[in-house]
Amino acid sequence: MTPGARAALAWSLALLSLPDPPADAQGRDANPAPGTLRIALVNMKCRFTDGPDAEANRRNLRLNLDRHLYFIDRVSKEGVDFIGFPELSLNGYRFSKGMTWLRRDGPEIGELARKAAEKRVYLAVGLAEEDAAGKRWNAHVLLGPDGKIVGRHAKIVLTKEEGFTEAGKAHDVFDVKGVKVGIAICGDGSHLENLKALADNGAQLIYAPHANTTGSTIAGWYNFRRAWVGPDGWIAGLKVYAALDNPECDPPAGDDTPARCASGARVIGPDGKVLAEMPPSTNRTDAKEFILRYDLPIGGRK
């Protein structure tokens, strides 16, 4: 067995032996109230798929995909309607010339689509996408409970993917159990005009998947989005709900540099109040996998 294979096997066994990630107590009843959208925001470990070893990249991709399936199986037992994963959740958020590019019609999205249909849930997952024309994107795909693609958003405001991907332009809104949902990937949410465009297009909920370090602390990550919160914040001004999450990137053993993603998840109401959040921490080593659940009192029945 090669050193890379041994490392991947060790990581797989470590994941299998992990205790269940912390989870809030809200929304544990498997029968949500009528007229609500039960969401689960997942902060998961993400391995990188852009290294110089293509085989290692594919192993990491498989590990990331398996982690998605684990969380879907877990939270779908609780009557969840919508499961949101972070930015680049399938690939891990790091770009280089070795990136493993995925297709919307590829086997990874196909496997998740079958799982969405099996569990009758909506899934929002992030990927480094190469389209049929050969263009590349930082994209988020929304899958429906029938296994079909409901929609897709390409990141508009490029950061570390600049030079590797195209910039998106659309502010589309998608139906999720009768709720109009818009997607703003990480840097998109640093510009009010993007959120306003989603609200103007009818969004009732803005889903904001991230992969951001912000000093590698959970408290720092919440501070990064402070303009969204409060009675004078962007969300209150737009009169919409917001759901944000951030992954726990998995750095090399012993590496606690600021490249580590901070984890974190938050739900904000249309008055700007924080409705639920992962407990903040100023400890750089305290990023962790987490599931934040919340029942939004909007939308219709299935």
Q: What is the pLDDT of residue 19?
A: 52
109: in domain: yes
In 3D space, the residue among 83, 102, 74, 93 whose CA is nearest the CA of residue 42 turns out to be 83
Q: What is the mean pLDDT of the chain?
A: 89
The number of domains in the chain is 1
Q: What is the pLDDT of residue 286?
A: 82
Residue 4 domain-assigned?
A: no
What are the backbone angles phi and psi of residue 7, rounded to the nearest 5°? -65, -40
Contact 275, 268 (CB under 8 A): yes
Query: At residue 216, does pLDDT exceed 90?
Result: no
For 47-51, 114-118, 192-196, 236-240, which range has the lowest pLDDT when averaged over its residues?
47-51
**Burial class of residue 274 (count of CB atoms within 10 Å of its CB; 0-12, 13-18, 19+):** middle
Tell me: the pLDDT tens digits for 7-31? 554 445 445 444 566 666 454 566 7
Q: What's this model's pTM, rounded to 2 decimal places?
A: 0.90
**Residue 248 domain-assigned?**
yes
Q: Which residue has the higher pLDDT, 245 or 16?
A: 245
The CATH number given to whatever domain includes residue 175 is 3.60.110.10
**Residue 163 pLDDT more than 70?**
yes
| pLDDT tops 50 at residue 300 | no
Question: For residue 134, is it within any domain?
Answer: yes
Give the sheet arrangement for strand 274-277, strand by strand.
Answer: 173-176, 179-183, 205-209, 241-246, 264-268, 274-277
Q: How far apart are CA 299 and CA 82, in angstroms?
A: 12
Counting residues of the chain whose pLDDT is more than 90, the rounded percentage is 77
Round to whole Å and give the CA distance between 88 and 128: 6
Higher pLDDT, 299 or 41: 41
* Structure confidence at residue 298 as a pLDDT band (50, 70, 90): confident
Q: Is residue 53 part of a domain?
A: yes
pLDDT score recorded for residue 132: 96
At residue 260, the pLDDT reads 77
Half-sphere exposure of 102 (CA within 13 A, CB side): 28
Give the separation between CA 273 and CA 172, rounded to whole angstroms: 25
Whether the pLDDT of residue 239 is over 50: the answer is yes
Cα distance between residue 10 and residue 45, in whole Å: 15
Domain contains 1: no
Is residue 86 assigned to a domain?
yes
Q: Which domain holds residue 67?
A: 19-296
Residue 10 in any domain: the answer is: no
pLDDT at 229 over 90: yes
Region 34-50: what's the mean pLDDT?
93
Q: Could you tell me the maximum CA-CA distance found in the chain, to the nearest angstrom?
A: 58
Q: What is the pLDDT of residues 53-108, one digit of tens each?
A: 999 999 999 999 999 999 999 999 999 999 999 999 999 999 999 999 999 999 99
Q: What is the pLDDT of residue 215?
A: 81
* In the predicted structure, residue 177 carries a pLDDT above the cut 50: yes
The predicted model gives 35-39 an average pLDDT of 93
The per-residue pLDDT for 196 is: 98
pLDDT value of position 17? 40
